[in-house]
A and B are shown apart, each in its own frame.
Chain A
């Protein structure tokens, strides 16, 4: 609705949108640089992060200190022109590698993050019917629930990827969670054309997955291109390296000689070993990981 026309003497005047000469780029103008695969992934992730920031009231980014969530923080800095405008939440089991804590303390400051470190409850409070490693990981879910209650976040940005594990392949980009943090895989709303379901019911929250469409190789290629710092445990030492970092007692290194990101990328090109092979909790029973996720694990 436009209030003014030319007769009106009110301050300012409305320009005629169609009258002016076109400033559309001509064929002699330089063409925009073409986008490669990483450019496209980045643009899509930035779009998702900005949608989350526009549509939710109280966001936090889950920073697990691993390669994926570091890429995610980098993408958030790109999306918001250098700053991360919401807290970075580290749900700390207290059992991470010393290198991970050193990384957190250094880059939490260097990247000027609003870092919130939240502890996990003792192991006794976790479902005793779960196998040992899964039970240990489920502690993290409990820690997450405590942090959610403490701050009242309505959106949690998480760095999971579809290619990591079969149940994560089922995820939406904006994924609603129940009031207990649970995930109902069978009742997910449709999601298409970058239109996201961003209205969590009262008391519930959303998970937002800005790098769901990335692969492990994409993460490494992007980390290298952008010069994003990594924890040295990912690089091979004495014939072994970590492909995925979790708690010390339930994460094992894989056999590898890859001592640089280029060598990791070469290795991934030729491997058929799954990324989470070193994560004990994935292999205890067929459905352990799914049960964890239904209960709210990442």
Chain B
């Protein structure tokens, strides 16, 4: 890369001697590079030498160490004109102390004959057999700095010899040496007529100067002298043979050469003077190309003197050429005004002034502007020389001149002015600088050169046909330009130039000239075009962002080509994979195939290659090949009901639905048995436009503990291009899993690459989520082989049984554990009848509480009492048979019972502490025919009409006669019994302490039976029936409201509890007369209707709101005898008066006798009266004729309160 101070750098080639490893060698070169600046004061004086360091002890010799010889031969034509382009020193770094030093030096001299000084630096020398020479050094003997000083001394000596060889040589221009092979500067879009002095060049220069004007603010180049000069030159051209002019030219060129060499040897002041003198003469004789080069030399010396902080004076030739004398104030005012130290524009040492203008001291001028002006002037003369056939500027010189100026400007910009930092950057382009953060912040206003000005200047390069230059020059040009753009922080421009650089490299066949750091360039390109760090396969933000994919794709393609060019296959593989992984949608089928087959697959053995699609596996599922009952996991919860029940206080109408869903989930879980073979269905995707070959599919090491692929050789598939396919892999299970095992991915080998883990990507997310894809975990549970229980037989015929209603029967079931590996030690028997199955799920929704109690109690009975099984064994051994003794009880079974299914859940519990067990089910169906026997066709309740004072044999009468107050405390229940069975049936009623005689009914006979029942007494109850809620059997069913009013609900409760009371007390056991074993009982519940109010009043007197009690003084009187009736009204209501209505009826006709003529009864005249509750009231009547009267008392509107009394009149 072209440094700003390139002319003062001593080109030094560093070569390895011995057996170096790359890293060690590069470290050694870097160590050397740290000593690239040698102060002349440290170098041993050379009194007789032209370049005696003592002459200017402030000076420096600056080395430019190169580890590769680029252009020493191709640039030989420049060695006279720009001597610094020559290779001066060759340093061999030797790490093998045994190698002969002389041999090494000789070898270096042979190989690099063009150099003038050689040195070998040993890391450590072994043995001192050879005489030490001045070219041999050892790091172990002396520090590297001292070695470099000695090398510098040798170099200065050699340079003296080299220079002396030039003393009598006529120095020729590059065009004269190189002839037609030298590339002349070609400016695009400009007509250059070689050798002619037509007006065209001046016009061109005119435009050029205008352009420069635009960028360099106030500095103007005078056109007039040029025109004048060109005229003069045309005349001088004819006199080119003149010896005076030739001598002057020769002298000037010699001076310039000497100045150049002095620049290399650190004698900057003399160098500047010589350059100035040379320029003065060259200007005079119109040798423009050498003049321009001299001006550039002055620029370099000015920078170096500024670096050494040595004051200097601007040579007078600069004054005259750049017209500083006339407009020095205007040129320099911007900086002058800023500098407080500037007292005046005039030089304090006026006496130094030699030519026309006053010499300016460096303290009074804006050095960077001056440097830029001189550099512009040099470029101007280079430009001007292009019209000549021999004395023209080669493109490489022209180009590098621009680059040096650009580098200077950009470094000034980067360092925020022409300061120490900028100077250090110019002198040591590779050196590490400690840069203060303040200096990094660039403020445009404070800068010497604006960004736009520098950029504008850089555009000059694109007026040249750069591609015509040789490759090393092109590389150096583009690298320098990219650094300049980097200094300007124009990273996109930098990337653009780097891309052009790569294109240039690719367009040349040669594989040399590799920049050592071209990986850095690649990294820069990747970063600028946002390829680095853009990972749409991992980051959702990247996947949803838009990028310039065309650019990115092309850049990657270019990088791959460059890497292929340099045979860096690691990069080829890496970037080809990136291209396929992230930009496959922009690639054609051919491109994709080429990338895969030419750039990736051939290198899979040597480099890290992996399949590009991270979402290869989209789904995994399992499928059974055989339909076989799988055991289910059953949780053995002792308090099962509470765990299943919804513990929420609030009724959840969806609770059942919720529970059901959970069951379904359990069914979907993947349960497998050890040694079971199933098919694993894998869904693959192939987003590419080529077929993808899957070589093998297997489980991860963790998964392999539990399962394995049945036949690994059969796991090779081909996924067609741009498709999604399902493939089956046979899988067997090895070992039971301790709990649910999650299968999260598979080990898959694609394209013969080593197997890699691929997770299962169920769904690719696109927006607003954290993860790029939702990973799927396939739950797998593997359990041991389970026992199998098989049904052998029952003692029933064809599993059918016919039962008489209300009876019980026994039978046996024979079972066998047919498993040969596992016993059964868990057995749970349950059953289901058609009654439960036929009920709707929500059968309870519209039922009233009492109906529901009936149904639920029946279901509960079916569930608990219907079947009882004794002799359930604790364990059924391997291949062991057992019998179950089953008792079937149909005493309360409904007539609609048709079948029952006995389900035996069985399993093997490893230990008693197991909380869950895998169970299988065995279901045994039984068909039941229920035959009706004794039925109740009707039930009625009547009050006891008589006191039954006569002695009777009838059991219920005799029973009653033993009781007291039978009329008030007892009622009669009339039951119509029917025998529906084929045989006569004998039976007995029981009600509390009453027991009937054995009755007998023939087949199909119906008869009414009387059972005396005691009325329900309030005092015996802890609370009133109306306050006692109807119980709920199934607590899971909650009621928000029954939909009844309070009084309706109270009535319902009374009816319910009365009926329950009767049902509890009433029993009837029967047996078939001919067969005493055939016995049973009658379940009255299914025959007895709900009680109406009439019945309730009879059965449960406390239900009445009003209770009227009437007693008569006499019930049998003679005609004309008054009868006094005593009435007491009890009521639960808190009221003062209760209305009573009465009517007197003829007992036999039921007709009212109140309006009879003649009157049969005399009464007080009113048929109603008001009475106080709980206060006896007398009521008198006088019967007037013989009759039997029935006197009814009632509370109006409350018919159930009616109380009657009969009076017989004789």
Partners in one complex: no
Residues of A within 8 A of B (CB): none
Residues of B within 8 A of A (CB): none
